[in-house]
Amino acid sequence: MAILEAIGVGKVYETRGVETVALDAVDLAVEEGEFAALAGPSGSGKTTLLNLLGALDAPSSGEVRLDGEKLADLSPAALSELRLRKLGFVFQAYNLIPVFSAAENIEFVMELQGVSAAERRKRAEALLAEVELEGLGEKRPLEMSGGQQQRVAVARALASRPRVILADEPTANLDSKTAIRLLELMAELNRNHGVTFLFSSHDPLVLERARRRIWLRDGGIDRIEEGAVA
């Protein structure tokens, strides 16, 4: 069963009366446990589609379903709850909360879910170990390298035990060695936890490791490639 579905999804942006079609009637289904990537050149609609699938934006036409639930039917509060319980995000610029330590960043999402303090601490330590940042939990983001920050971001995305992690250009600010290690880590998490990963990227390192590549061009799906390259 598809965990994520886009059915005839379109997105039109309007700026000062000028309409720009970012997506046009896109149909896409992402199966549970997939390790897939949205690929394509800049402006092809990758990030827009990722935002729509992640309930960060609403489509101009068509519908998006997450775990069978039609997002358009949900109230803003229900959408927040859905993002909190079922989705995890990893962004290009890490986007950790700078006034929180690494452990606090990870625990924050769990606290929003109502997880007890002891359980949060235990899970945060385990996640930090899993992303190979054991002992760095008290460091603030600005005291960490880009790779370390992105691994904290992955740990944070996993902290809520989501069904799907959406990663928007997660390797864009990393050197290739760090990027490879991060992607290996994500692949392990995908294998070990069964978490669905959907990337938006034009980084060959990401695309080589994705088991399905959905190529977008001019707001529509150009082609879909199956099977990992690496």
Stretch that binds another protein, among 84-92, 121-129, 178-186, 211-219 (CB under 8 A): 84-92
- The answer to whether 95 and 153 are in contact (CB under 8 A) is yes
| 150 interacts with another protein by CB under 8 A | no
Which CB, 35 or 89, lies closer to another protein? 89
Binding of another protein by 54 (CB under 8 A): yes
**169 contributes a contact to another protein by CB under 8 A:** no
What is the rounded CA–CA span in Å between residue 147 and residue 204?
18
How far apart are CB 168 and another protein at their closest, in Å? 8
Backbone angles phi, psi at 81, to 5 degrees: -65, -40
Nearer to another protein, 115 or 182 (CB): 115
3-state percent helix, strand, coil for the chain, nearest multiple of 5: 40, 30, 30
DSSP states of 111-165: HHHT--HHHHHHHHHHHHHHTT-TT-TT--GGGS-HHHHHHHHHHHHHHT--SEE
21 sits near another protein (criterion: CB under 8 A): no
- H/E element, 52: helix 46-53
Applying CB under 8 A, the site for another protein has a residue count of 32
Indicate which single residue of 5, 24, 34, 57 sits in contact with another protein (rule: CB under 8 A): 57
67 binds another protein (CB under 8 A): no
Of the ranges 28-36, 80-88, 171-179, 188-196, which one interacts with another protein (CB under 8 A)? 80-88
Residue closest to 95 by CA, chosen among 28, 152, 164, 179: 152
Measured CA to CA in angstroms, residue 89 lies from 2, 143, 189, 190 at distances of: 19, 22, 14, 14
Question: Contact region for another protein (CB under 8 A) — 32-40, 90-98, 171-179, 211-219?
Answer: 90-98
Q: Which residues bind another protein (CB under 8 A)?
A: 47, 51, 54, 56-57, 76-77, 80-85, 87, 89, 91, 93, 95, 97-100, 104, 107-109, 111-113, 117, 156, 160
